[in-house]
Structure 1
Amino acid sequence: MKTSPDPHHRHRFPAELISQAVWLYHVFSLSFRDVELLLAERGVIVSYESIRRWCLKFGSHFVGRIRRRRPRPGDKWHLDEVFIRIQGEVRYLWRAVDQNGVVLDILVQSRWDGTAAKCFFKRLLKGLSYAPRVVVTDQLKSYGVARREMLPDAEHRESRYLNNRAENSHRPTRRRERHMQRFKSMRQAQRFLSAHAFISGHFRPRRHLMTADRYRAMRAKAFKIWTQETCAQSTG
């Protein structure tokens, strides 16, 4: 069987260090210079520009590998949209989570009409072999247009009070947006938020619903999967 090329090929630093840098940047509210300082304290001299390039190159790659390892999402989807400002222009961040708070996907678009909603639904359903049982949204009519065409059998619940799960999922995005002094382009926002949502979420289970022992077991499993999927594995 043909193996995929090693994305770490021709990098001066080992895969474990690159993985650590990407993890620090996306799990914590750190800048590239903050990550550079943390690595320097450990004796690793690397520029913040190198860390920025690692996050750009490896963020989406790591997310793709982690997504293949996660359990099948729940059958109740919560969808919500918020506006973000990019270069002074209003853009819309669409987000979907399941009933367990797991992020399903996000999409940055310039509109929030029926066409934009259908585009988001297509992205959510891509590669899935099942459809959700229930779709929960706010009262934006665009969702109804997309749901009737693409998920005709799903129950649609519209209420601003039922969708707190999706709304709360936007909070980490708002914090990073402020820390980064807003996004510079739609492409940058999409690339960063896609990686940030999945990497951060991978290490942040719903701790308040777990016992301490259960949480520690979940955390250990998350670290194990991260190491397996992001660090170059020896084939010898």
Structure 2
Amino acid sequence: MTIDFKGSHCPRSVILYAVFFYIRYGVSYRDLEEIMAERGVEIDHATLNRWVVKFSPLIAEKAQARKRSTAKSWRMVETYIKVRGKWTYLYRAVDRDGQTLDFMLSERRGTAAARRFFKQAVGTNGIPDRIAIDKSGANLAGLQSLNVILKFTRAGRTINIVQSKYLNNIVEQDHRFIKRITRPSLGFKSFHSAAATLAGIEAAHMIRKGQVGQIGISPFKQFAALAE
């Protein structure tokens, strides 16, 4: 379904350009306001923020639905994102080739959050053959809990669990791009805006890695196509 831009006071192309520039290049809203003004578009930073929060999750959902198939061997570990001056937890998973699988921001870290993330990732990508996690007991318990559910609902098929810090280097490296983009924001002001913005950043990262769209098409055009 095409994303609805009705009610916006600017053309769809302007909104998409502003949102893409913010989630891809790591600028502050004040900087983006100045960049847009240089291009002849007078938009205040508060409006830019509303655009990013509103449209990023919608485009990220499209990116997830359209991304290319991923491998059945996963790597998962969480990282930290500051919201309202406090640390929250961004759960992320990639496959053995570094392709993005799924992500979830959580205010709490623990077995319940890990189980919720694994269920979400499996629901989006299917059941993998194995998942490599770190030495976290909460992540292990969350995955074991999911295996119990799978055993009784998916013809007995379960996920092989591997605990290895070395195998997770690939996802740890992948965190760096997300952190580089979020750093200029100086911390998110609300959990909702953080989750929405991170969804957009993850979508832009998927485009950057070639998971979405056609080879040879500019990243912005691939991003704009997701709104159709």
Taking structure 1 as the reference length, the TM-score comes to 0.81
Partner of 1:178: 183
Q: Who is 1:214 aligned against?
A: none
1:63 partnered with 2:60: yes
For residue 127 of structure 1, report the CA deviation from its aligned partner.
Answer: 4.2
- For 1:51 and 1:88, locate their aligned partners in 2 and report how far apart those are by CA, in whole Å: 22
CA distance in 2, matches of 1:203, 1:154: 29
3-state secondary structure, aligned to 2:194 = helix
Counterpart secondary structure, 1:220: coil
Q: Within 5 A, what are the aligned runs for 1:29-68? A: 29-68=26-65
RMSD, matched Cα: 2.4
Higher mean displacement: 184-193 or 54-63: 184-193
Q: CA 1:25–1:223 in structure 2 vs 1: closer, same or farther (change >3 Å)? A: closer
Give TM-score, length-normalised by structure 2: 0.83
CA distance in 2 between partners of 1:33 and 1:27 (Å): 16
Measure, in 1, the Cα distance between the counterparts of 2:223 and 2:181: 22
Equivalences for 1:68-217 in 2 at 5 Å?
Answer: 68-128=65-125, 130-151=126-147, 153-205=158-210
Further displaced range: 53-62 or 218-227: 218-227
1:229 corresponds to? 226
Q: Taking every aligned residue pair, what percent have the same amino acid on both sides?
A: 26
Q: How far apart are 1:219 and its partner, in Å?
A: 4.5
Tell which deviates more after alignment, 99-108 or 11-20: 99-108
- Larger deviation: 98-107 or 217-226? 217-226
The alignment of Structure 1 onto Structure 2 pairs a total of residues equal to: 217
Q: CA deviation at 1:16?
A: 1.0
Q: Is the 8 A contact 1:105 1:194 kept in 2?
A: no
Gaps of 5+ in 2: 148-156
Counterparts of 1:5 and 1:222, CA distance in 2: 19
- Higher-RCO chain (CA-CA 8 Å, sequence separation at least 6): 2
CA distance in 2, matches of 1:24, 1:8: 18
CA distance in 2, matches of 1:16, 1:169: 29
1:121 alignment partner AA: F
CA distance in 1, matches of 2:227, 2:14: 10
**Aligned AA for 2:121?**
L
For 1:197 and 1:182, the matched residues in 2 are separated by: 17
